[in-house]
């Protein structure tokens, strides 16, 4: 899995039969210090993530291991919305800032 930031949405009305109703988000991969990379993927979003939220993306056949994506041509999903992460005891990101 990798951490990414939701940066947008893709709309496609002409698609393979079993893709109806699956929202497609643009997710930019980020580094563990929360700086952006140049890598983006399109992922199915079953969690209702907002633009700007940090999420975990699962890739490959594992992306079909949810009820919504089972047996569908999906190779990436938003598997979780990230609350916080830390590296070497240092919080790199937290969704709920103490000052807010």
Strands 90-94 and 84-87, bridge-based pairing: antiparallel
* Least Cβ distance, residue 98 to its own copies (angstroms): 16
Q: Considering only residues 35, 61, 98, 99, which one is a binding residue for its own copies as defined by CB under 8 A?
A: 61
Instruction: Tell me which DSSP letter residue 39 carries.
Output: E
Nearer CB in complex with its own copies: 89/99: 89
CB atoms within 10 A of CB 75: 17
Strands 36-45 and 24-30, bridge-based pairing: antiparallel
State the residues that interact with its own copies by CB under 8 A.
1-3, 7-19, 24, 26, 28, 31-32, 38, 40-43, 46-47, 51, 56, 58-67, 71-77, 79-89, 92
């Amino acid at each position: 899995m990798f951490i990414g930031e939701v940066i947008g949405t893709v709309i496609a009305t002409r698609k393979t039969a079993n893709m109806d109703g699956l929202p497609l988000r643009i997710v930019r991969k980020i580094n563990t210090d929360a700086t952006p990379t140049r890598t983006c993927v399109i992922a199915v979003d079953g969690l209702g993530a907002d633009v700007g939220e940090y999420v975990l993306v699962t890739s490959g056949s594992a992306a079909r291991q949810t009820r919504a994506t089972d047996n569908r041509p999906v190779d990436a999903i938003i598997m979780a919305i990230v609350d916080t992460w830390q590296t070497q005891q240092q919080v790199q990101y937290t969704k709920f800032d103490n000052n807010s």
